[in-house]
Amino acid sequence: MILGMSIPAFTLLHVIITVVAIGIGLIVVGGMFASHRLPATSALFLTTTILTSVTGFVFPIHGFTPALGVGIVSCVILAIALFAYYREHLKGAWRWIYVVTAIAALYVNVFVLIVQCFVKVAALNTLAPTQSEPHSGLRRPRCWRSLPWTELQLRSNSGRSPLLRGERSCEEIPSRPRIRKHRPPKSSVRPVLIF
């Protein structure tokens, strides 16, 4: 029994919280790309991600495991994200620190979900029974490759993004004029097709 629930029921609750945290985290990162803060969604993302980490420590575990190490790292990342968002109000360098830590927290959740799927789901476990196969999600998961892409996107948008520029809100930013590509004028001579 864990907190008055059976272990399978508590595991299901933990998985539901994790999936909700990942879904909301994707919305928050999408908001970052679109230069929107989304304060309520960010608060919900941080809350559900903290719940994911905290409920992971409640499972009956004997000795130190990699899961505990990842949980500790996740808690440190979340503490920095909370400090940047609520204490420093995303001022100055704390804005990009929040962006990096929020994406890292989402990344850790996705990575743990992939690893746990290969451990717990029978169909995936048959593909990688020893967890040392390259496609098992442990050596080269797709989420490892997605984090640098996300960072590069944020860096390339940093000239436009108020989240990384340090501006107060998206509403204060005047929209840029659209630059149209030069198109040559249509010629008045039309080609004749002969069949």
d(C-alpha 41, C-alpha 79), whole Å:
18
Helices (H), 59-185: 66-82, 94-120, 122-127, 142-156, 162-165
What is the model's pLDDT at position 61? Answer: 82
Half-sphere exposure of 187 (CA within 13 A, CB side): 3
d(C-alpha 175, C-alpha 150), whole Å:
24
Tokens representing 14? 């933990």
What is the model's pLDDT at position 185? Answer: 60
**pLDDT tens per residue across span 156-172:** 555 555 455 554 444 44
**pLDDT tens per residue across span 7-40:** 889 989 999 999 999 999 999 999 988 888 889 9
Q: What is the mean pLDDT of residues 84-104?
A: 92
Q: Minimum mean pLDDT among 28-32, 75-79, 143-147: which range?
A: 143-147
Residue 129, pLDDT above cutoff 80: no
What is the model's pLDDT at position 127? Answer: 74
> What are the residue boundaries of the structural domains of the chain, listed by start?
7-170
Return the higher-pLDDT residue of 122 and 178: 122
What is the model's pLDDT at position 169? Answer: 44
Whether this prediction's pTM lies above 0.85 is answered by: no
What is the model's pLDDT at position 147? Answer: 55
Residue 183, pLDDT above cutoff 80: no
d(C-alpha 192, C-alpha 8), whole Å:
75
